[in-house]
């Protein structure tokens, strides 16, 4: 009978931000729906934490891990090719290895799920008579924009960022032109063509789309993807909201004990957690302003510091912060560690984010608004200061701030203007001390509960991701998006959900100065705004719980997807007998 068990193969593209959502999906399917799961992980071999994670999972019996090496693509790249272009080429060149791996499986899997950057592998499924799906670990509005982009490409003249009127997508809130994902910033760049192709692939090559979200997270866009006639004429295939899938605390892990011991000594909701994800980086000037903003706010903080980069806000995407970074930072203001040692903790490169966001002393999260972080913040019940950096983070920030009320953000996008220390101080105080921060905390708690219900009450056992971890911990954010879709995430968190704040100008466009950073930190950690966001994040956390519950929307959607796969599997077997 075990041979009859539905076998699903999932392709993961390089980068921790891509691998973690795939591992979470695989874990969910294997451990809670009892399916056979194989993960085809295209790995760069440059991330120690990635290799360690894959090795640990490979020792488990419930998920099979197959590592797919990346072929040499150096001759295919052009100078200054963006991350999106590099990933697209990597996954294109890895197709033969992926095909060989699937061909070697006996019997072949019944279903192939491709992530965002591996959609060109979908035709492999047809060769082996497999069902084929795309997994999009992003908010519904990002998926709507991505799939509708080829229509906008024909309608809009000139650069999207130069448009005066927001971009209209049927059934969705308009997308501000400054919030478009990185590939849309320059239509002459190769990454734009890759991005348009991906959106077309999702709807023309797949049998359906799995979306890591739940009903209370941008519900209007989710409804549009499912029911709006104009958008459905483009999307065509079924959309399954199966989230939020996020990392869980590992009770057996001793990693980060120093941080947890420090947090244990701090008052409840008094600490601001500052982290820009596994791939985000700041310029040296912006890092100085952030340091001063945190210091001037006088709020307790835990700051995960990575060496500064140049203009690229996704400078650590393929390295993720290596062991070489794990030294006391020498790129902070002179005497900084000494002056802040009584109320701040600076950690090089990496920290146990899920543990931190779920610690009772953490009351705010300054985040780049990558979706993993957004969900982890919501599930922690923590409001945010939205600081989008790259990718779709700006859009995420706008939704979190403007629509959901669980975040605050700088007055101008950090990508446009450096966020100065005064504004940072103000935001931090608002989030951590103010009424707004408390209100956001309550909102995030409600979201957290709805997320739990959506997944069937199994959240405490799922394992692995960042916006979701903050939400789950009930922690509001300072949104500091760096790359990919993070600006979009940040915009959603700040503008729509109100669980984060962010710099006035995108960090990618202008260095965020110390004064603005100080202002943001004070606003988040001390201010009325920070308190309001904490309440919002708590509300969001509750809705996330509900979505994962036995009768929750995400649980039902996952079951619907699995039933569909099972019915199609039986049909294929019946036809083969004929």
Tokens 């004429």 correspond to what residue? Answer: 233
Least confident of 51-60, 92-101, 205-214, 369-378: 51-60
Cis (ω within 30 of 0) for the bond into 401? no
Closest to 145 in 3D by CA, of 186, 203, 90: 203
Q: Quote the CA–CA distance of 177 and 167 in Å, as a whole number.
A: 7
Does residue 275 have a pLDDT over 80?
yes
For the chain, what is the mean pLDDT?
86
Question: Residue ranges of the domains in the chain?
Answer: 2-139+201-245+550-573, 266-548
Position 483 scores a pLDDT of 65
**pLDDT, tens only, 230-261:** 999 999 999 999 999 998 887 667 677 899 99
Summarize the confidence of residues 135-143 as an average pLDDT.
Answer: 97
Tokens 């219900």 correspond to what residue? Answer: 453
Closest to 480 in 3D by CA, of 368, 391, 370: 368
Position 221 scores a pLDDT of 97
Fold adopted by 2-139+201-245+550-573: Rossmann fold (3.40.50)
Q: How many residues does the chain have?
A: 578
Percentage, residues of the chain above pLDDT 70:
87
Position 568 scores a pLDDT of 73
Q: Quote the CA–CA distance of 324 and 569 in Å, as a whole number.
A: 48
Position 1 scores a pLDDT of 35
First-to-last alpha carbon distance for the chain, in angstroms, is: 22
Q: Is beta strand 111-114 parallel, antiparallel or unpaired with respect to 63-69?
A: unpaired
Grade residue 273 by pLDDT with cuts at 50, 70 and 90.
very high
Cis (ω within 30 of 0) for the bond into 557? no
2-139+201-245+550-573 shares its CATH topology with 266-548: yes
Position 56 scores a pLDDT of 58
Q: Quote the CA–CA distance of 23 and 65 in Å, as a whole number.
A: 10
Does residue 59 have a pLDDT over 70?
no
**pLDDT, tens only, 357-408:** 999 999 999 999 999 999 999 999 999 999 999 889 999 999 999 999 999 9
Does residue 470 have a pLDDT over 80?
no
How many C-alpha atoms does 111 have within 13 Å on its Cβ side? 29
Structure tokens at 34: 């009892």
- Known catalytic residues are 18, 115
Does residue 323 have a pLDDT over 60?
no
Fold adopted by 266-548: Rossmann fold (3.40.50)
Contact 452, 473 (CB under 8 A): no
Closest to 412 in 3D by CA, of 487, 499, 300, 324: 487
Q: Quote the CA–CA distance of 147 and 225 in Å, as a whole number.
A: 10
Does residue 315 have a pLDDT over 70?
no
């Amino acid at each position: 009978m075990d041979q009859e068990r539905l076998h699903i193969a999932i392709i993961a593209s390089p980068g921790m931000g891509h691998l973690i959502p795939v591992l979470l999906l695989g874990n969910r399917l294997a451990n809670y729906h009892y399916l056979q799961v194989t993960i085809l992980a295209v790995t760069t071999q440059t991330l120690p934490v990635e290799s360690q994670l894959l090795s640990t999972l490979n020792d488990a019996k419930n998920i099979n891990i197959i590592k797919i090496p990346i072929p040499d693509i150096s001759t295919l790249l052009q100078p200054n090719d963006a991350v999106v272009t590099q990933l697209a080429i990597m996954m294109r060149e890895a197709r033969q290895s992926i095909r060989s791996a699937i061909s070697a499986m006996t019997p072949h899997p019944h279903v192939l799920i491709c992530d965002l950057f591996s959609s060109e592998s979908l035709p492999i499924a047809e060769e082996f008579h497999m069902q084929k799906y795309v997994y999009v670990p992003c908010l519904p509005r990002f998926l709507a924009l991505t799939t509708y982009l080829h229509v906008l490409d024909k309608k809009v003249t000139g650069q999207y960022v130069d448009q005066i009127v927001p971009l209209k997508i049927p059934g969705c809130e308009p997308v501000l032109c400054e919030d478009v994902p990185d590939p849309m910033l320059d239509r002459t760049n190769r990454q734009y063509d890759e991005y348009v192709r991906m959106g077309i692939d999702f709807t023309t090559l797949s049998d359906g789309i799995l979306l890591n979200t739940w009903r209370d997270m941008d519900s209007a866009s989710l409804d549009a993807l499912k029911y709006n006639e104009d958008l459905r004429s483009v999307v065509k295939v079924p959309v399954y909201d199966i989230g939020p899938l996020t990392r869980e605390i590992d009770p057996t892990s001793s990693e980060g004990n120093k941080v947890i011991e420090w947090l244990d000594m701090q008052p409840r909701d008094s600490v601001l957690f500052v982290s820009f994800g596994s791939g985000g980086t700041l310029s040296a000037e912006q890092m100085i302003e952030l340091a001063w903003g945190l210091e001037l706010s006088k709020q307790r903080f835990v700051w995960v510091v990575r060496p500064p980069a140049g203009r690229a806000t996704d400078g650590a995407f393929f390295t993720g912060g290596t062991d070489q970074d794990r030294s006391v930072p020498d790129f902070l203001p002179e005497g900084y560690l000494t002056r802040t040692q009584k109320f701040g903790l600076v950690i090089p490169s990496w920290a146990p984010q899920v543990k931190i966001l779920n610690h009772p002393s953490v009351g705010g999260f300054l985040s780049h608004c990558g979706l993993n972080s957004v969900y982890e913040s919501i599930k922690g019940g923590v409001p945010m200061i939205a600081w989008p950096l790259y990718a779709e983070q700006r859009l995420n920030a706008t939704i979190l701030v403007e629509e959901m009320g669980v975040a605050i953000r700088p007055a101008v996008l950090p990508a446009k203007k450096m966020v100065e220390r005064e504004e940072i101080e103000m935001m931090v105080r608002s989030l951590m001390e103010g009424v707004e921060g408390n209100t956001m905390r309550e909102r995030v708690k409600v979201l957290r509960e709805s997320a739990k219900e959506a997944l069937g009450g199994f959240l405490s056992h799922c394992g692995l991701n960042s916006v979701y971890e903050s939400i789950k911990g009930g922690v509001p954010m300072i949104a500091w998006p760096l790359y990919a879709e993070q600006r979009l995430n940040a915009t959603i968190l700040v503008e729509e959900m109100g669980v984060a704040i962010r710099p006035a100008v995108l960090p990618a466009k202008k260095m965020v100065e110390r004064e603005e950073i100080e202002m943001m930190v004070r606003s988040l950690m001390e201010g009325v705004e920070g308190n309001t966001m904490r309440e919002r994040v708590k509300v969001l956390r509750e809705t996330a719980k509900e979505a994962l519950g036995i009768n929750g929307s995400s649980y039902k959607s996952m079951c619907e997807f699995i039933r569909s796969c099972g019915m199609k599997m039986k049909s294929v077997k019946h036809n083969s007998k004929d």
